[in-house]
Structure 1
Amino acid sequence: MRIFGYINPQISLLFVLWYPLRKDITSMLINVFFFGIILDSFSNSGGVNTAALLFICYIRLPIIKFIFNDKDLNLKLFRYSNYGTMPKIMLILTLAFIHQFIVYVLEYFSVSYAGSILFKTFTNSLFTTFVVVIFLSIFTSTKKQ
């Protein structure tokens, strides 16, 4: 889905967000790799989504610890519902920005397009965050366990 010719929300971030933290990183990287390969083969993007998703997958835990300000994060008890709305939106925005930045840097692969890379990264990150927050609010339960 492209809006105005360049805004393309990356719903694939939901796969990384919803993947359980208590699983080991190796199985997560393997699953994200195959998910990214399938995504790239259907979108004919040459592997840029796979590279960006793998990087996001790899740095997800340190970013979660930083944004939720929880250095001793217990992976077995972690739930997104235990935290407020703003930290969740900041997490999604950060992951979306990093993902979009990697995608556009690999797509353009030239410093001369820095303005275009930053503009598209910023607009797509905001729109992706908006769409992912809507998806999360629709498809997640609000009851605490």
Structure 2
Amino acid sequence: MVVLAAIGEERHPKKVIETAHELAQRYETRLVVVHVIPREDFESHRQLLEQRSELDGLTVDQEAESAAEFVRLAVENVLGEFDDAIEARGRVGNPAEEIVAEADRIEPQFVVIGRPQASRIEKTVFGSVPQSIVQNTEYNVVSTVIGTDD
């Protein structure tokens, strides 16, 4: 059994990590934390690096490792440590699709996600990664409200 937590950069991942860690401890299972860098962000990063002649192009694997490093730092910041029961994973692509694909790979007992405080109209107009995850996965989704002060 495993608990999967998905965190983003734009919002602080504290509540998501804490909730996922509590579930993993309660069920005595490992915790996998994933961060997905959107494909368009990867392309922007790569273009910026290519403009600097001393730096070679950025690869998807390098960007995914950067995302995994972000996970390790976020977990250490929230929990005070990064132990053997926690695994950091980084991906590049469409966040909702990559999170659902990760869930399909590891078949977690729970998928823990954060959702911003937003009205139904905002979700309808702008779309929602959490909403897409809930609609496209068969696993138990635990959603926690996140904000800028988390």
Give the TM-score band, short-chain normalised.
Answer: 0.3 to 0.5
**TM-score with structure 1 setting the length:** 0.33
* Structure in which a larger fraction of residues adopt strand: 2
* Structure in which a larger fraction of residues adopt helix: 1
**TM-score with structure 2 setting the length:** 0.33
